[in-house]
A and B are shown apart, each in its own frame.
Chain A
């Protein structure tokens, strides 16, 4: 089948059971088998395994013999098919991710839980602004329609959803879902839980007065310096309230600012009964969560290795197949595109990594230097060996505050001498800003097509570039100053260097800058305010 022309249909009528999928031939042709250059063996038995536990010999051994027979046997034993396996499918990696992905995740094959991550560092502040304009807003609206579309499948297949779609208004999110579900004919009502207590905006002064400085984690400045400009403040909550919701029988759990990783490992705690101080198991869950939280980035999206060979038209998002001992396999539905190899998983593991030995979450400190990967072939990568340490007594707070205004304008100059023209355009513009007496906190010029991404590392601009886009941004505390800049780009079209285009969008827009202020707070100060309640919709 040509996937480019005929995207994979959701096979809602024929669910693929796990035994079918795992059995011989159940996986269908692996994308790798069609690799024209034959870089990889079909089932990649020789895919590099780098289990440091088998000793230093691994480093220099040929790939085919990286595992000794005893280890292979041990792995076989660990993969006892009768053992309970819980499948957590990832459906969204950010607010604005592909809407088909979660539907395909539920309808193409077996999963037990669907995790949907909507929140990046500054998403809360965007949602806060929406809520200020309209009190019932402030959550990921597309989540509601998605749940309406998926509701019959969730009931039919017994798939439960865990999501931080609630943003700054999880209750409003559930109310909207209730209204929308009223018109859906379901065999039974859905139990929908809401986690509250992450929003500490209303308690900031109480905390500051009580001696919690909420200092910036990088600069050390106390929050009081920007207190009057704070737009939102939310504590990153861990797994505990989500587990409570699942214990209440929730089909759908809606949280606000939960950690991205907890959306994946809270169901594992619930299913396997992991203890709150079993640090290694919790750390395994965190690693699973880190792999799931960016959606397709673990299954070949944004992957550097073999990017030409990975079919991303209708990609499968990651699925964690977890066992009670903390080991898990990263995979995807075989019928969908994408790819799972040690390379795709490793790229995601190092994504947004800080100190690998100190991956701090509300529930455990995970040590990413203990992760052992094994590429099993056929889009299956096994993860084991993860170690963790006791959680800290602090929770992270995500604070957003207003920090002035900015605007960015672009114009595109064509061959010949495209770069030179763009550079002259920049000179003219800067001269006019000076002529008008406009000063900014920051002005930045970049040349797209001539080093905007890699700067001087890209080498000198070429004479023969077909076109170059001049991109100028300004930032200032004063809105009027930024607005004045936005009126100075367009005049360059007629009163600037020649062969210019790309101005159909009109004047640049003045944008509010909402800056991020990460801080820590004592766990005890906020945890008592966390509540969970479940209702039938």
Chain B
């Protein structure tokens, strides 16, 4: 089934100069390998087409079931130089969570009662 990342993961983003970082964390351990397989550096670069003007680097943190992405040249020069409203990349986290990936129905069923899903879907 195709799902938005926000249904299976959460994230926080920040900045280092002109580079935005996004930490993407799986709600459940069983989802982490899916993130590793699906949310590649290439896909993230493609997702942020027009926003990220440099390379995307990815680091794996299985201990935190997290992936860390560095999006180079994404903040209009960064810091005080940038003219962007979001010069510190604070909203990049949820921009990534818009991405849709394929997850097996079996894995999703196990996640049905987990926190972090939009309340409307909790029913």
Chain A interface residues (CB < 8 Å from chain B): 37, 39-40, 48, 50, 52, 58-61, 63, 121-122, 218, 302-306, 308, 343, 346-357, 368-373, 385, 403, 406, 408, 442-444, 446, 448, 452-457, 471, 473-475, 511, 513-516, 518
Contacts and interface: CB of A to CB of B under 8 A. Distances in A.
Interface of B: 10-19, 21, 23-25, 27-30, 32-33, 47-51, 59-66, 68, 70, 76-81, 83-86, 90-91, 93-95, 98, 113-116, 119, 122
Interface of A (DSSP majority class) = mixed
Contacts of A514: 80
B7 to A, nearest CB: 13
B80 A515 contact: yes
Contacts, number: 163
Contacts of A63: 28
A308 B119 contact: yes
Contacts of B12: 302-304, 347-348, 350-351
A356 B33 contact: no
B47 A306 contact: no
Contacts of A349: 23, 64, 66
Contacts of B78: 516
A355 B33 CA distance: 20
Given A50-B65, A356-B61, A515-B80, A347 B95 contact: no
Contacts of B68: 350, 353-354, 356
B121 to A, nearest CB: 11
A219 to B, nearest CB: 10
B31 to A, nearest CB: 10
Given A302-B12, A346-B66, A454-B94, A369 B85 contact: no
B23 A353 contact: yes
A491 B116 CA distance: 47
B25 A346 contact: yes
A351 B70 CA distance: 11
B16 A50 contact: no
A346 B95 CA distance: 19
Given A305-B115, A356-B61, A455-B51, A513 B81 contact: yes
